[in-house]
Amino acid sequence: MHTVVSVALVAGYVLVLTYVAVRARAAREYAEFSLARRALPLPLVFGSLAATYVGPGFCIGFVGRGFHSGFFFLLIGLVYSLQHVLVGFLVAPRLRALNDCHTLGDAIGQKYNRTCQMFAGIISVSVCAFLSAVMAHGGRVILNDMLGVPGWLAVLIVVGVTALYTTSGGLRASVITDAFQFAAFAILLPATLLVVLVFHLKGGSAAFVDQAIATTESGLASLSPLQIAGFIAAFLLGETLIPPYANRALASETTGTSRNGFVLAGLFSVAWFAVMVSLGVAAHGIIPDDTGDDHVLLRLVRAVMSSEGHALLLVILVSVVMSSLDSLMNAGAVAFAQDVVKPVVALTDEGALRTGRWATIAIAVVASTATPIVPSIIDGLLICYTMWASAILPALILGLWVREPRPLACILSMAVGTEVAIVAIIVLFAFPEALGVSVIIVPALGASLLAYLLGHWIAARPAGGTA
């Protein structure tokens, strides 16, 4: 009976979500598919940003880390919140002010040259595809753990349904369904914490505080200063203006809307991280201590919820995955059409729209195929953060602020950052115990920044002269 109720609710939710996507209507022009005609109001920008970052990593992953590391990971989450606020004040308005700009690659192309745009586009598509694989991994964990659905079928369901409405409606459908899903899980997951604290917490508030202190101290003691610095760098910079966020900044109706959307989303994330980490701490004494990170929230829900509540939370967790996955698919598809294909092939509006739709399907296939190699949700995010921050951020941020950006600096930064990140990731997989996943961003980002400064210095020197 329990499984029947759960399956019925999931099926019903998928039908409702499909109806919402259909109501958003299919994109008929590339401008609708890519940036929703740059007319998104503040509520949709805020809701979509929040729904995009509250994926399985910032939900399932943070509950698991709260269970094992206490409130240490709340401090890491607050670094992410600060990043969102800073982007809102310092970067998003500048990005929105650029004319005829659809992607970060467009922005880099305007600041440097077309070669830099294509390089940025390839990186953007790759990062979106592998972040999509992390989201698909989260969907597989949820459906397999809570319903016993085989892993391959779980991935097919989550990725297939998400690709269906994203391919049809583009950014507009993604944003509207994200806002719908955000309204659901922003209420029901915090309500789960309330149920746990009121009805299931053993020992009351004093026991919660004691457990929080003990797990936080244990979490800090298990990490080296370099690993802590790596976590801070990863969550401060790793998701800074990844393609889905950049698309929201560019699609906002005004620069003020872009700024305020990021600031509000950053402030909301403070409360979200506090709730997720608290759920992890409160799970002690309710579920076994040896529960893995990716299974803490799922086991907790199973332990404290009735069959109906369990089924409802299953639906919400699936929506958490889909709200991040659709944004990544759309952003990657737009980056492919705009930054990889358009610079070398003259596309009509219809051709660009068709290219974006096929690219969405291709990203869905790559994500589904790559899902088995994802080590865990948080570790998968950290690997993607390393690639993005080291390959793109120095060139992007400095390009928006430097008076005369140099293409050589951009190319060197992206090439060196990408190469060092790939080497670091390979070393990580070869020697997982010797090198923590949080550490690899430090050398990769440092090398990228140094390469940018070197390229800028070389290009700025007078020809045949001395500095």
Q: How far apart are CA 385 and CA 424, in angstroms?
A: 13
| CA distances (Å), origin 414, targets 163, 405, 421 | 30, 14, 10
Q: Is 207 exposed, middle or buried (0-12, 13-18, 19+ CB in 10 A)?
A: middle
Place of tokens 């399956």: 7
Q: pLDDT value at position 24?
A: 54
Q: Is the distance from CB of 58 to CB of 276 less than 8 angstroms?
A: yes
Here the tokens at position 93 are 């308005």
Please state, in angstroms and rounded to a whole number, the distance separating the CA atoms of residues 82 and 263.
9
Q: Does the structural domain 2-377 have CATH classification 1.20.1730.10?
A: yes
Task: Kindly indicate the confidence band of residue 21, based on its pLDDT and cuts at 50, 70 and 90.
Answer: low
pLDDT at 6 over 70: no
Q: Is 108 helix (H, G, I), strand (E, B) or coil?
A: helix
Calpha distance 365→363 (Å, rounded):
5
Tell me phi and psi for residue 27, to 5 degrees: -70, 130
The least confident of 35-49, 82-96, 326-340, 376-390 is 35-49
**pLDDT interval class at 40 (50, 70, 90):** confident
**Bridge partners (DSSP) listed for residue 168:** none
Q: Say whether pLDDT at 179 is over 50.
A: yes
Q: What is the pLDDT of residues 391-430, one digit of tens each?
A: 998 998 888 888 889 999 999 999 999 999 999 888 888 7
pLDDT digits 0-9 by tens, 128-174: 999 999 999 988 988 888 778 888 999 998 899 888 878 876 666 67
Percent of the chain with pLDDT over 70: 87
Three-class SS state of 141 = helix
Quick one: pLDDT at residue 1? 47
Report pLDDT digits (tens) over 320-362.
788 789 889 989 999 999 999 999 888 888 898 899 999 999 9
Q: What is the DSSP string of 57-101?
A: IIIIIHHHHHHHHTTHHHHHHHHHHHHHHHIIIIIHHHHHTSTT-
Other Cβ atoms within 10 Å of 147 Cβ, number:
15
pTM, whole model, 2 decimals? 0.84
In angstroms, rounded to a whole number, what is the distance separating the alpha carbons of residues 312 and 112?
49
3-state secondary structure of 252: strand
Please state the length of the chain: 467
- pLDDT (0 to 100) of residue 151: 87
3-class SS letters over 311-331: HHHHHHHHHHHHHHHHHHHHH
Least confident of 50-54, 58-62, 384-388, 417-421: 50-54
CA distance 132 to 383: 13
Predicted confidence (pLDDT) per residue in 192-245, tens digit: 777 777 677 677 778 888 889 999 999 899 888 888 888 888 898 888 888 889
State the burial class of residue 417 (Cβ atoms within 10 Å of its Cβ: 0-12, 13-18, 19+).
buried
Confidence of residue 442 (pLDDT cuts 50, 70, 90): confident
Domain boundaries, the chain: 2-377
Supply the angle between the helices 114-147 and 243-251 in degrees, to the nearest 10.
110
How far is it, in rounded angstroms, from Cα 67 to Cα 293?
8
Taking each continuous run of H as one helix and of E as one strand, the counts in the chain are 20, 0
Q: Which pLDDT value is given to residue 62?
A: 92
Is pLDDT at 466 greater than 80 in this prediction?
A: no
Q: Are 132 and 329 in contact (CB under 8 A)?
A: yes
